[in-house]
Chains A and B, each alone.
Chain A
Amino acid sequence: MTGMHLRFEDVHYRYPAGVEAIRGVSLAIEPGERVAIVGQNGAGKTTLVRHLNGIFKPTAGTVHVGDWLTTDHDIAELAARVGYVFQNPDEQLFARSVQADVEFGPRNLGVVPEETTRRAEQALATVGLVEQKNAHPHHLSLSERKRVALAGVLAMHTPIVVLDEPTTGQDAAGIDMVGKVMDTLAADGRTVIVITHDMDFCAEHFPRVVVMTNGQIQADGDARTVFGLAQTLAEAAVEPPQLIRLSQRLGWGYSPLNTAEFVEYCARRRSERVG
Chain B
Amino acid sequence: MIRLDGVSYAYPDTVRPVLENVSLDIGRGTIAGILGASGAGKTTLAKIIAGFIPHVDGGELSGTVSVEGQGMGDLQLAEAVSRVGLVIQNPFNQISGARYTVREEIAFGLENFGVARPEMQDRVGEVADLLNLGPLLDRSPYELSGGQQQLVAIASMIVLRTPVLVMDEPTSQLDPAGTRMVFDVLSTLRGAGITVVIFEHKLELLHQHADVLYVLADRSIVAAGDPTDILADAHLAEWHIGSTRYTRVARAAQKRGLLAGLRHLPVSLEQAVAVFADDGGAR
Interchain CB contact under 8 A, B252 and A252: no
Of the candidates A46, A90, A251, the one whose C-beta lies within 8 Å of that of B282 is: A251
Interchain CB contact under 8 A, A168 and B173: yes
List the one stretch of B25-33, B98-106, B139-147 in contact with chain A. Answer: B139-147
- The residues in A between 228 and 275 inclusive whose CB is less than 8 angstroms from any CB of B are 237-239, 241-243, 245-246, 249-252, 259-260, 262-263, 266-267, 269-270, 273
Any chain A CB within 8 A of the CB of B89? yes
Cβ-closest chain B residue relative to A264: B256
Q: A200-B245, A250-B273, A259-B245 are in contact. Are A42 and B148 (CB under 8 A)?
A: yes
Q: A88-B90, A242-B245, A267-B258 are in contact. Are A141 and B280 (CB under 8 A)?
A: no
Any chain A CB within 8 A of the CB of B211? no
Q: Which A residues touch B241, using CB under 8 A?
A: 171-172
Q: Which A residues touch B37, using CB under 8 A?
A: 171-173
Any chain A CB within 8 A of the CB of B281? yes
Distance from A86 Cβ to chain B, minimum over Cβ atoms (Å):
10
Any chain B CB within 8 A of the CB of A174? yes
Write out, one digit per residue, whether chain B residues 35-55 have a CB within 8 A of any chain A CB (1) or not (0).
Answer: 011110001000000000000
Interface size bucket, A side? 35 or more
Q: A168-B172, A173-B37 are in contact. Are A243 and B92 (CB under 8 A)?
A: no
Interchain CB contact under 8 A, B269 and A245: yes
- Which of A39, A246, A267 has the largest count of B CB atoms less than 10 A from its CB? A246
Complex: A143 Cα to B174 Cα, angstroms: 16
Distance from A249 Cβ to chain B, minimum over Cβ atoms (Å):
5
Distance from B233 Cβ to chain A, minimum over Cβ atoms (Å):
14
Interchain CB contact under 8 A, B38 and A263: no
Distance from A55 Cβ to chain B, minimum over Cβ atoms (Å):
15
Q: Which A residues touch B43, using CB under 8 A?
A: 141
Write out, one digit per residue, whether chain B residues 163-178 have a CB within 8 A of any chain A CB (1) or not (0).
Answer: 0000001001111111
Q: Which A residues touch B145, using CB under 8 A?
A: 41-42, 46
Distance from A244 Cβ to chain B, minimum over Cβ atoms (Å):
10
Q: Which A residues touch B276, using CB under 8 A?
A: 246, 250, 266
Any chain B CB within 8 A of the CB of A214? no
Q: Which A residues touch B131, using CB under 8 A?
A: none
Of the candidates B89, B248, B273, the one whose C-beta lies within 8 Å of that of A249 is: B273
Interchain CB contact under 8 A, A174 and B273: no
Complex: A241 Cα to B244 Cα, angstroms: 11
Q: Which A residues touch B36, using CB under 8 A?
A: 171
Interchain CB contact under 8 A, A263 and B253: yes
Interchain CB contact under 8 A, A246 and B272: yes
Q: Which A residues touch B269, using CB under 8 A?
A: 242, 245-246, 249
Q: Which A residues touch B38, using CB under 8 A?
A: 141, 143-144, 169-171, 173-174
Q: Which A residues touch B188, using CB under 8 A?
A: none
Complex: A252 Cα to B243 Cα, angstroms: 23
Interchain CB contact under 8 A, A90 and B90: yes
Any chain B CB within 8 A of the CB of A112? no
Any chain A CB within 8 A of the CB of B93? yes
Any chain A CB within 8 A of the CB of B279? yes
Cβ-closest chain B residue relative to A17: B143
Any chain B CB within 8 A of the CB of A175? yes
Cβ-closest chain A residue relative to B139: A17
Any chain A CB within 8 A of the CB of B214? no
Q: Which A residues touch B279, using CB under 8 A?
A: 266, 270
Any chain B CB within 8 A of the CB of A220? no
Interchain CB contact under 8 A, B177 and A142: no
Write out, one digit per residue, whether chain A residues 74-98 have a CB within 8 A of any chain B CB (1) or not (0).
Answer: 0000000000000110100000000
Interchain CB contact under 8 A, B283 and A273: yes
Of the candidates B147, B243, B253, B277, the one whose C-beta lies within 8 Å of that of A250 is: B277
Cβ-closest chain B residue relative to A266: B280
Q: Which A residues touch B244, using CB under 8 A?
A: 242
Cβ-closest chain A residue relative to B272: A246
Distance from B13 Cβ to chain A, minimum over Cβ atoms (Å):
11
Q: Which A residues touch B248, using CB under 8 A?
A: 259
Any chain B CB within 8 A of the CB of A197? yes
Complex: A252 Cα to B89 Cα, angstroms: 39
16 contacts between A and B (CB under 8 A): A40-B176, A40-B178, A90-B92, A142-B89, A165-B173, A171-B37, A173-B37, A174-B38, A200-B245, A237-B175, A241-B245, A245-B269, A246-B249, A251-B282, A263-B252, A267-B253
Known: A88-B90, A243-B249, A266-B279. 19 other contacts (CB 8 A): A40-B176, A41-B145, A42-B148, A46-B145, A87-B173, A165-B173, A168-B169, A171-B36, A171-B38, A173-B38, A174-B38, A175-B242, A250-B273, A250-B282, A262-B252, A269-B280, A270-B258, A270-B280, A273-B283
User: Which 6 pairs between the two chains have the least Cβ-Cβ distance?
Assistant: A172-B242, A41-B147, A270-B280, A242-B245, A250-B281, A143-B38
